[in-house]
Structure 1
């Protein structure tokens, strides 16, 4: 699980708050070539840490470390980069400041420049919250990359998506053991409730209709939702911090664009393939259609999957993963 930590010292965030001892934790795959022209950035997603990105990286894969230098960076709030669980007082636990998608992007650029001297990327690929980061990169630093591939994500959190995230927040805060974020042990009921929220929203009606939950060895739907879920070292305050970052995602919410969503999307000049899942309840294809309509060099390519938001995620349909990998190959030089 360990990665390399890049320290920035105290950082002023987009909100004006100070984040003490800011850090990004990352791993790399492959070798950076002499002219530093083979770099790819692959940020993590909500709740994910860098090992979760490994499923699509490897020799012969679209993200081939024998050809490319792939930087997998952990988003702030995920427990490895700056998070409530690892930040010193006075910004620890529930006092951790709001971190925006743009805050992540600005520090990710600093990481690339300070750690590797990378001034340009071949590609930024991101899933879910990683897709939000990819969109923000494209709008804020439009000349920094050749191509972007955001999948099952959005450039701005839709109202319906924001409401869904309130369910995740409520799962944490409604557990009496949460204690307003001042818990001494993790609120286990909170994580069980959050698992049920994700079972409800993260997978589609078609996925359940086809009985794919029962194909995993459960006799009934009740057995499936009552399964033992791995806690995985999760931290409730980290969940809250990540929810807030996701809820606030809007690539135009900064002085460069002043809230002009269409202008921010129009500034993304890199070749882009936007890949929503047909059955995603978080980021439906209709939202992606609107995004692409404002982008001068973008294509909409829908993943025709029943896996909902989990389309293309580790352990799901290999056909969906192959579809995404084909798009990645198309965006990269031969």
Structure 2
């Protein structure tokens, strides 16, 4: 079978936790053409459980991530089944325990891809939603001289305690399945995956979404129809061990959790020199607006920083609105304007 993506073999990678990941591979896809100056680059990391197929809807002619103007790179986050994951690389570890892979590790390999394979020294924009947004924050923190702009859509600089607890509920529902034995799934946990979807449904969408029966706008005939056809199967296409690996990455996410910053979030945010767009959903339950409001005044060395909430009742999903025209138009317009602004303009709101 011919793949529609490429693989970057990073070799043996020493992870942030100290373990060596042998033959670590990053799956990625590119769109558009790299210009002669190699500076028309947009990096668009994937989100939880997503592969580039799921997120490439945002890459289209005339949109904010326009492949006619930009060279868009979608790196698949480790644990998503295309890049190195428990489902395709567990055999590399003699004791059977797949290691924790942090955002720090993921972005380091993505950086190698861009510099070693493409010779890229400047990135016009790192754009990410959810776990992709947390990667975008890591990019801006780790490589301030390289990243010119960062769009943080429904994400934060670190996983808040509230967000962590939400994920504990998701994880508990999944691992309650009898297929979970000695820390890993030995077969497909059909019951656990369905339970995980039902738990997730209450968090991903907002109170207003359910109150006003907005599931009707998505083509569902009843609340049960929405839960059954959307959430009961939402995670069944992914390997359950992969999902657990990505949950661990998410829960440990913190741009300051490295030797450079020693856990000091203010120092990590102060290292960012890029123009920053913080775009939470007004009704997101777990990446809440308050997190970005607290981060904004700490972006003291950013070229500019602005907070522009998405005015939506679709909760966290407002940041990935493939089927929500109003939110899709808002994101495209906001990001296009963000890209068009002069890098020397000061904006802070």
- Return the match for 1:292 from 293, 296, 302: 296
- Return the match for 1:7 from 6, 9, 18: 9
Partner SS, residue 149 of structure 2:
strand
For structure 1, which segment, 281-290 or 185-194, has the greater mean C-alpha deviation from structure 2 after superposition? 185-194
Structure 2 residue runs without a partner (length 5+): 342-349
Which residue number corresponds to residue 131 of structure 1? Answer: 133
Instruction: Output the CA distance in 2 between the equivalents of 1:182 and 1:92.
Output: 15
Which residue number corresponds to residue 329 of structure 2? Answer: 322
Which residue number corresponds to residue 144 of structure 2? Answer: 142
Partner SS, residue 111 of structure 2:
helix
- Return the match for 1:208 from 189, 200, 210: 210
Cα deviations across residues 146-180 of structure 1 (Å, max 9, x unaligned)? 10001001110000000000112112211002223
Matches within 5 A, 1:178-327: 178-180=180-182, 182-216=184-218, 218-227=220-229, 229=233, 233-296=237-300, 297-327=304-334
Partner SS, residue 7 of structure 1:
strand
* Alpha-carbon shift at residue 92 of structure 1 (Å): 8.0
Which residue number corresponds to residue 96 of structure 1? Answer: 98
Contact 2:279/2:307 (<8 A) preserved: yes
Partner SS, residue 21 of structure 2:
strand
Instruction: Output the CA distance in 2 between the equivalents of 1:135 and 1:8.
Output: 22
For structure 1, which segment, 184-193 or 4-13, has the greater mean C-alpha deviation from structure 2 after superposition? 184-193
Contact 1:94/1:182 (<8 A) preserved: no
Contact 2:190/2:236 (<8 A) preserved: no
Which residue number corresponds to residue 24 of structure 1? Answer: 26
Contact 2:90/2:98 (<8 A) preserved: no
- Return the match for 2:156 from 154, 157, 181: 154
* Alpha-carbon shift at residue 220 of structure 1 (Å): 4.0
Which residue number corresponds to residue 345 of structure 2? Answer: none
Instruction: Output the CA distance in 2 between the equivalents of 1:92 and 1:211.
Output: 50
Partner SS, residue 214 of structure 2:
coil
Structure 1 residue runs without a partner (length 5+): none
Which residue number corresponds to residue 61 of structure 2? Answer: 59
Provide the aligned length of Structure 1 versus Structure 2: 334
- In structure 2, relative to structure 1, the CA distance for the partners of 1:144 and 1:258 (3 Å cut) is same
* Alpha-carbon shift at residue 81 of structure 1 (Å): 0.7
Q: Which TM-score applies when normalising by structure 1?
A: 0.95
Structure 1 runs, 4 residues or longer, greater than 6 Å off = none
Partner SS, residue 22 of structure 2:
strand
For structure 1, which segment, 169-178 or 280-289, has the greater mean C-alpha deviation from structure 2 after superposition? 169-178
User: Does 1:70 find its partner at 2:72?
Assistant: yes
* Alpha-carbon shift at residue 232 of structure 1 (Å): 5.2
Contact 1:312/1:318 (<8 A) preserved: no
Instruction: Output the CA distance in 2 between the equivalents of 1:257 and 1:105.
Output: 16
Instruction: Output the CA distance in 1 between the equivalents of 2:317 and 2:71.
Output: 26
Which residue number corresponds to residue 115 of structure 1? Answer: 117
Which residue number corresponds to residue 346 of structure 2? Answer: none
Contact 1:21/1:88 (<8 A) preserved: no
* Alpha-carbon shift at residue 197 of structure 1 (Å): 1.5
Q: Which TM-score applies when normalising by structure 2?
A: 0.91
Cα deviations across residues 34-68 of structure 1 (Å, max 9, x unaligned)? 12111110000000000112111111111111111
Contact 1:139/1:264 (<8 A) preserved: yes
> How large is the Cα RMSD of the aligned pairs?
1.8
- In structure 2, relative to structure 1, the CA distance for the partners of 1:279 and 1:107 (3 Å cut) is same
For structure 1, which segment, 239-248 or 177-186, has the greater mean C-alpha deviation from structure 2 after superposition? 177-186
Partner SS, residue 332 of structure 1:
helix
